[in-house]
Amino acid sequence: ETVTVKEHLFSDFMGEIKSLGAWGGDFIMVVSEVNPVTYFTSKGFSTIIPYKEMILE
């Protein structure tokens, strides 16, 4: 069984994480009831694109 990116890297994250990309890990999509930016920046991730900036209107 394949270990998910959430299980492997973010097991303490309170929300859902979906790996995006052909091999997994290229991008992740995150859903949480609280703003997840602080969580991911504290883990060393600096590229965070909010959904509203990514979608076409």
Mean pLDDT rounded to a whole number for the chain: 90
What number of CA atoms fall less than 13 Å from residue 43's CA on the CB side? 13
| 4: its two tokens | 């998910």
Interatomic CA distance for residues 52 and 2, integer angstroms: 31
Domain boundaries of the chain, sorted by first residue: 5-54
End-to-end alpha carbon distance in the chain:
38
Q: Does the model's pTM come out above 0.85?
A: no
Q: How many residues does the chain have?
A: 57
Percent of the chain's residues with pLDDT above 70: 93
Which amino acid is residue 25, in one-letter code?
G
Q: Is the pLDDT of residue 35 over 70?
A: yes
| 57: its two tokens | 């209107």
